[in-house]
Structure 1
Amino acid sequence: MSTEFRKLLFEVSEALVTEELSALKFFSLDYVAKGTLEAIRDPKDLFEVLQERCMIGVGNLFFLKELLYRIHRIDLLTAHLGSSREEMERELQVPGRAQVSDYRQLLYGIAEDLTSENVQKVKFLLQGPLQKSKLQENASMLQVFLEMEINEIIKEDNLTMLKDILQGFRADLKKKIDAYEGKKREKYSREEVRYPVSVSVYPEEQGAKQYGEIYKMKNNPHGYCLIINNHIFKNRRHNREGTLQDGEAVKRVFKWLQFETVEYMDLEGKKIYDTVEEYSKKDHRNMDCFVCFIFSHGEKDKIKGVDDECVNIEALVSRFTGTNCPSLAGKPKVFIIQACQGSEHHPSVAVESDSSGHLEVDARPSTSIPDRADILIGMATVEDYLCYRSRRTGSVYIQSLCEMMELLCPQRVDLANILTEVNREVAKKDMEGFKQMPKITSTLLKLLIFEVPQ
């Protein structure tokens, strides 16, 4: 990373006060996990995390510009980033250019418009739904909004309680929420082709043609989520730092989605096969689905155990065909594999590297999938290319997948579309001057929509 870029981040961070850092963290919630943000006490740490998530970097400054614009630090925008209020307003008019969501903009605007007296009224009315300890006098409105989100009192698509609270003393802000919801309905209607789930799930409400059948997801648990996570290899030079964070992210998401989630660490080649075979022989009659994540090194068509012994990926997947696993016949089987598929780099076009040297690569597995129905494989990258893993925060692909599932599963977006969105997000990122392009291979016959517990 260039010295000039680091100096820029230092000077900007030194000019920010505590309340402004809180606002920047709030705006970053769609890209960085809440737990990570809660631990940040200094703007420099936030910028470090945003670099690791490939949100800012040398030649990739728009998100930083937008953050400063949103918190009204036009002085920093002008002095350090060579931009202006007018230029940002023009740029943000371009469809899809804004990276801070309309939802976060709305909540931040409401927090700014509320007087101290208004904030106390909101806190009083939230006693009961929220713990009193979360409503202390020094808690800012953004902190209150965050607690409301954690407790699912408000969501991007459900602001009813907030409207009810504001109606009594700030009807003008209630109207702002109404306007936001109106725009969101209009936008969602325009995007039905991109996410056809909305018309297939609620045909009675929308009077639209159903695009496809949906796999049944009615049991609890819905199925097993098997994670094979190779971290410490017998050859210590091959250790995969950052993979523990991937395992934690997957466990968090699939426990939330009501899967029986099991993680096996540091398996030798034969043990990988034996473990997968063990799960193929289980009775899945009261299950809806099977999900398997594999994080390791490998070679062409194979996954490596920690002893460098290889397992053929098709042999693993084929354990779940209708013949070999009849209790999962007609049910979806999902395999997500984090590993490279070769040694080539995708060149980065027009954007310089914004990595801070914390990225590693994994080795090469297969993309082949047995020609059988109801199987989906998500690969971290296309054939012959590298994929990337941060030693500190985990792999670019798996972290993006988990964040997208948390964002889109509540909107009843099907898995194939979620993975397509992950492809788009990962393809946008810059890793040490190179790119990564994930791949989806699917023989699913229906839409796979994960039910979110109410």
Structure 2
Amino acid sequence: MAIGGSNKGAAFFMLNVGVPDGTSSIKFPYRHGAKKDQNNISSVFIHQLGFELKNTQKTENFYRNEWDHRYNQGKRACVRGSPCMVCLIKNTDYSNYGYVVFHVSSDGYCDLNDGLKIQCLSDSVEEYITLKEIVDAFSDENCPGLKDKTRILIIQACRYNPRNPTDLSDDAGVNVEMVSTPDFFTGQPEKGITQNNPSRIPSDLDPIDIPTNFLIIYSTTSHRFAKRNTVTGSWFEDELKKVVDAFPVDRPMYFLQVLTETASNVAKRESDPGGKKNVPCYEHRLTNSIIFRKC
């Protein structure tokens, strides 16, 4: 729970893992092990920190129009009782919450014009939402009820540049293609990428565009692939859960310190010790410290 009372956090989870042999599998290959990401993040925020999950109807495998109904043909409105994520975020009552966390796990890459892009499921052409769209969804303008409240965005997605040979050859020895069945059961590391991403030069959200009271956490640094183990899930969520699991119940938890320890542990897991390190990072414009207590 957050300092100052219980039930102080609202949570929104969005996991794109794919459907094996489904109509979307050609454009969105199945992400072995990614289901663990949401399990791990739920353990941290729901079970140990006392946040409340708001999108209980759907947390997995989002098409772009399920993120925002304005992507529907003709911009058809949401079906009554089944809002898109943007509408759910906008219409949630935040009066009893001091914090909001949004976690997304999917494939991604950096685009010259749009910055970090996160892939959604699709049956024909590849479709993405941008980091800016996510930030806008939680903005004071879209959600006046979030004014002065802390918003934590956790982005589990690759941030590589398809046009940079150094990015694409990153970490020799780690599988780029889908892992084989033997690798799946032994828990070999896998890169969460697709093979048909548009060739663009990377450009993440400009720090000056980060609104006040936002903390944005990336599972990896710019120009890097995010790492995922096919059994234990993505490295960041796995290590974050371990750090929070080990944290004493009777002590205040300074969340940025938890992130620092998590990043250090992820870096130590690097599959190629002689190469560049895979390190989670964050940027923020916080006006208050983030302090939690475990339930």
- Same fold judged by TM-score > 0.5? yes
More helix per residue: 1 or 2?
1
- Aligned partner of 1:362 in structure 2 is 192
- Aligned partner of 1:391 in structure 2 is 230
Residues 73-108 of structure 1, C-alpha deviation per residue, up to 9 Å, x if partnerless? xxxxxxxxxxxxxxxxxxxxxxxxxxxxxxxxxxxx
- Aligned partner of 1:227 in structure 2 is 13
Give the letter for the 2:40 counterpart: A
Q: Give matches, 1:30-179, under 5 Å.
A: none
Correspondence 1:318 to 2:136: yes
3-state SS of the aligned residue for 1:265? coil
Of the candidates 258, 272, 281, which is equivalent to residue 67 of structure 2? 272
| Structure index of larger Rg | 1
Q: Give matches, 1:178-193, under 5 Å.
A: none
Give the letter for the 1:359 counterpart: P
Give the letter for the 1:319 counterpart: A
| C-alpha displacement of 1:404 | 1.4
The 1:269/1:429 distance shift into structure 2, 3 A limit, reads: same
How many angstroms apart in 2 are the aligned matches of 1:424 and 1:246?
A: 19
Of the candidates 441, 444, 451, which is equivalent to residue 283 of structure 2? 441
Residues 378-425 of structure 1, C-alpha deviation per residue, up to 9 Å, x if partnerless? 101111111210111101111111211222373323111111111111
Q: What is the total number of aligned residue pairs between the two structures?
A: 235
Taking structure 1 as the reference length, what is the TM-score of the superposition?
0.48
Correspondence 1:282 to 2:92: yes
Report which structure shows greater RCO (CA 8 Å, sep ≥6): 2
The 1:357/1:399 distance shift into structure 2, 3 A limit, reads: closer
Are the counterparts in 1 of residues 150 and 286 from structure 2 also a CA contact under 8 Å?
yes
Of the candidates 8, 31, 34, which is equivalent to residue 240 of structure 1? 31
- Aligned partner of 1:91 in structure 2 is none
Correspondence 1:328 to 2:138: no
3-state SS of the aligned residue for 1:337? strand
3-state SS of the aligned residue for 2:44? helix
More strand per residue: 1 or 2?
2
Of the candidates 104, 109, 118, which is equivalent to residue 303 of structure 1? 118
| C-alpha displacement of 1:346 | 5.8
Gaps of 5+ in 2: 69-83, 111-115, 162-166, 175-182
The 1:386/1:323 distance shift into structure 2, 3 A limit, reads: same
Give the letter for the 1:372 counterpart: P
Gaps of 5+ in 1: 1-214
Are the counterparts in 2 of residues 415 and 449 from structure 1 also a CA contact under 8 Å?
yes
| C-alpha displacement of 1:229 | 0.5
- Aligned partner of 1:418 in structure 2 is 258
3-state SS of the aligned residue for 1:238? coil
Give the letter for the 1:239 counterpart: Y
| C-alpha displacement of 1:219 | 4.3
Give the letter for the 1:311 counterpart: I
Taking structure 2 as the reference length, what is the TM-score of the superposition?
0.71
Are the counterparts in 2 of residues 359 and 389 from structure 1 also a CA contact under 8 Å?
yes
Give the letter for the 2:14 counterpart: I
- Write out the 4+ residue segments of structure 1 that deviate beyond 6 Å after TM superposition: none
The 1:357/1:400 distance shift into structure 2, 3 A limit, reads: closer
Of the candidates 252, 267, 271, which is equivalent to residue 427 of structure 1? 267
| C-alpha displacement of 1:443 | 1.0
Of the candidates 29, 35, 51, which is equivalent to residue 259 of structure 1? 51
How many angstroms apart in 2 are the aligned matches of 1:286 and 1:217?
A: 13
Are the counterparts in 2 of residues 224 and 290 from structure 1 also a CA contact under 8 Å?
yes
3-state SS of the aligned residue for 1:285? coil
